[in-house]
Amino acid sequence: MGDWTGVLHLNAEDRKGKTVAKNVYFQGAFKVMRPVYHDDSGRACYYLLNPGGGYLDGDRYQMKINLAENAKLTLTTQGATKVYKTPKQYAYQESEIILQAGSYLEYFPDPLIAYQNAHFKQKNVIRMDSTATLLYSDIITPGWSPEGEHFSYKTVQLLNEIYVDGELVVYDHLKLKPSVQKIGGLGFMEGFTHLGSMFIVDRQMNSSFLDHLYSLLDQNTSDYKVGLSLLPVPGFTARVFGNSTQVIEQIFSEIHRNICQEWFQTKQYSLRKY
């Protein structure tokens, strides 16, 4: 395993309309539960586990996911990602995801909670065929401190790279460093405490669907701010400012529900964990 704190490799394939694991390997403080099939679509759902309960000083995690042709998978976590204080070395997680022709991936991890004096870096590299589908989201909370102070962590840095047919189409680099940034000001959190990002890539995407999503959102509210942007390939991004995890989750859930209904004529199933 080298110097990795936890490693997870999962290769999945389609077998007569049902997605099953071809190979699963995990070691250290990174595990995956047995797959759950929430409906009769054949799509498998895996819950990622961190037996240690959170990321500690110098922890390094690696995840590799490969979906073969027409495989369909949902990935989520068992609970929030907690990053404790890192006095010496930052905690790090990297993911490499390969989506082959006709495959479908939903990757919806629970929110990130960076504790006081935490330093966390994450890198996701996704390589997909133009006929594959990707739905990914993440939510960053203001963290946790004994005094209840917001943004008391050192750094939260998230990097997402998405390649379609070998071409880089999304490069999203978010770096929050409260000690040197006016974190609540314009261009950063703009008075909000939570930030959510969602990336959707699918051939069925068009500007009319984006207009439809805008029509579902309440633009006259102080509870959140939402921005939707088309990608250079069929797809879009959603960025949401809010003051609670639940508000952002509700918006992402509504987007997800409409995608399931409009594009795939399927029902959205719940990933409830409590």
The two beta strands, 60-67 and 235-242, are unpaired
User: Token match 């940034």: residue?
Assistant: 181
Evaluate whether residue 268 is within a structural domain: no
Task: Quote the pLDDT of residue 184.
Answer: 86
Strand 235-242, strand 194-201: pairing: antiparallel
Q: Does residue 274 sit within a domain?
A: no
**Per-residue model confidence as pLDDT tens for the chain (274 residues):** 458 999 999 999 999 999 999 999 999 999 999 999 998 999 999 999 988 789 999 999 999 999 999 999 999 999 999 999 999 999 999 999 999 999 999 999 999 999 999 999 999 999 999 999 999 999 999 999 999 999 999 999 999 999 999 999 999 999 999 999 999 887 889 999 999 999 999 999 999 999 999 999 988 899 999 999 999 999 999 999 999 999 999 999 999 999 999 999 988 887 765 5
109 within some domain: yes
Contact indicator for 48, 61 with CB cutoff of 8 Å: no
Encoding tokens for residue 103?
């495959």
Residue 128 lies in a domain: yes
Report CA-CA distances (Å) from 183 to 37, 75, 201: 41, 31, 30
Q: Which two tokens stand for residue 75?
A: 């990935």
Q: What is the pTM of this model?
A: 0.95
Q: What is the separation of C-alpha 11 from the centre of its chain, rounded to a whole number of angstroms?
A: 19
Q: Would 272 be classed as within a structural domain?
A: no
For tokens 């909000």, what's the residue?
192
In a domain, 258, yes or no: yes
Range of the domain at 161: 6-263
Residue 13 resides in a domain: yes
State whether residue 250 is helix, strand or coil.
helix
Q: By the 8 A CB rule, do 88 and 120 touch?
A: no
Pairing of strands 91-99, 119-128: parallel
Radius of gyration of the chain (CA): 18
Q: So what's the pLDDT on residue 35?
A: 95
* Assigned domain for 218 exists: yes
